[in-house]
Amino acid sequence: MIEIKNVIKRFENGVEVLGGISVQIPERKRTVLFGPSGCGKTTLLRILAGLETATAGEISFPASYKISFMFQRDSLFDPVCVFENIAYGIDQRTLCRDRLTKRVHSLAALVGVESILMQKTESLSGGQRQRVSLARALMKEPDLLLIDEGFNSLDRKTKNELIDKLIQLQEEKKFTLLYVTHDIQEARRIGQNFIEFKKEEATD
């Protein structure tokens, strides 16, 4: 269980984004943070990822946890190919080239982009880019995968295809998933556990 106790986030301008949130996130399950835009969901993910520091409160999970973050806007490197973008998800000094290549090909096949590994990402569709982003996030073999409305810009058909693939991967690899959305259909499709954020409890 990931324990979040009385976490407060207050920025230097005095704006309080999280006002003492306390939640428990079960391991190896799919948890959805659901609520309207601007209620602090993304901020909590960024704190969990170490990209922001909480003003107060405690967050506890094993120190050995490997964490990956799939952002709302993909951060792919367009000048290089899909293979190199996926490989960027891990410190390449930790794997020999053969093992790195095998892992990239395996993940690319899982998310459906193995046939375009040598294409530059600037030529890809939105759905293909999100598949590459998901593969890169999984490259680290994370214990905790954080996704911040990662499929938000896609049409419903493509979004549902990728959500089904995400559910399949989570069930196979047994990582803990924490997924942010304000789309109730998306939340119901993904979630096994739900945490609702309300605007009056935390405001951006």
Band (202; pLDDT cuts 50, 70, 90): very low
Q: What's the mean per-residue pLDDT of the chain?
A: 89
Residue 50: which residues within 8 A CB-CB, separation 6 or more?
A: 67
* Gap between the terminal Cα atoms of the chain: 27
Q: Where are the domains of the chain?
A: 1-66+142-204, 76-140
Band (203; pLDDT cuts 50, 70, 90): very low
| Tens digits of residue pLDDT in 72-108 | 888 899 989 999 999 998 877 778 889 999 999 999 9
Domain 1-66+142-204 has CATH 3.40.50.300: yes
pLDDT computed for residue 204 by the predictor: 42
Residue 1 scores a pLDDT above 50: yes
pLDDT computed for residue 183 by the predictor: 85
Strand intervals (E) in the chain: 2-10, 16-25, 30-34, 56-60, 67-70, 144-148, 176-181, 193-196
| Tens digits of residue pLDDT in 117-154 | 999 999 999 889 989 999 999 998 999 999 998 887 78
